Every structure is written in C-alpha cells, then in structure tokens.
Amino acid sequence: MSLRVGNIIRFERTFTAEDVELFTKISRDEGSHHVTPDEQGRLVIQGLLTATLPTKIGGDHNVLARTMNFEFLRPVFTGDTIICEVTIDQFEKSDNKTRIDASFLCKNQHEKKVLKGDFSGVIL
C-alpha cells in the first residue's frame, strides 16, 4: 500500500495471557494486575503492549518514529480484541526521506475507546 494523506489503515489483535507473560518478561512491568487474574480470570494488558498496535505501521512501512503520544483511556484485558485505526495526517517526500504524521484510535470489541494518540517520524 502506498501511503497518502487521508489513508486510514485498520487492523486488529486479540490479546492472550501468553502475550502478557512474554511482555512482562521483556518489559519487567510486573504489576500484580498483569500477573494475577481478576475474578473473571483475565489479566490487564500492559499499556505499552496495547500501544504496539499503532506502532505496527512503523514495521509495515519502515517508519523511524521521532515522537509518540499515547492517551490510555481504559484498561485492556486478555481476550479483548482491539481494533486500531491509524489515519495519515501528513505525508511529505523530500530528498532522501519522507516525513509522516499520523493519529490513531483504538477500540475494544464493544466499541469502547481504549487508546488514542499520534506519532511522527520519517520513512527511510
């Protein structure tokens, strides 16, 4: 996909207990809510694990991020499916790089907003 201003890129992911366990090992974010299930048997997903959704665009399009802003609106739990929409707000090509600015909104399977923010960077 060739990126253009106004493009909306949509993807989703369902988080598992294994995802939380692996991220806990890597990040060392071992808050009790990440390692002890609640009364429904769910773990709370680390905020930065949830934030990997909008950063997926970087992996898909070779973006080197310069700034990232996240606003965590509500908890995400294991078993939740998060739908992320990234909107390309600015896309400018120059000599040997391309500048990109984007905003994003993530909702859970119940259409509840869980994360919003923006990022900027360059495509090398």
Render pLDDT for 103-113 as a digit per residue (tens, 0 to 9): 999 999 999 99
CATH code given to domain 8-123:
3.10.129.10
Q: For residue range 15-33, what is the model confidence (pLDDT) as tens digits?
A: 999 998 998 888 886 777 7
C-alpha to C-alpha distance for 31 and 75, rounded to whole angstroms = 14
Q: For residue range 39-93, what is the model confidence (pLDDT) as tens digits?
A: 999 999 999 999 999 988 778 888 999 999 999 999 999 999 999 999 999 998 8
What's at 54, amino acid-wise? P
C-alpha to C-alpha distance for 56 and 117, rounded to whole angstroms = 14
Terminal Cα-to-Cα distance of the chain (whole angstroms): 16
C-alpha to C-alpha distance for 82 and 108, rounded to whole angstroms = 4
Q: What is the pTM of this model?
A: 0.89
Question: How distant, in Å, are the alpha carbons of 24, 44, 46, 77 from that of 41?
Answer: 17, 10, 16, 10
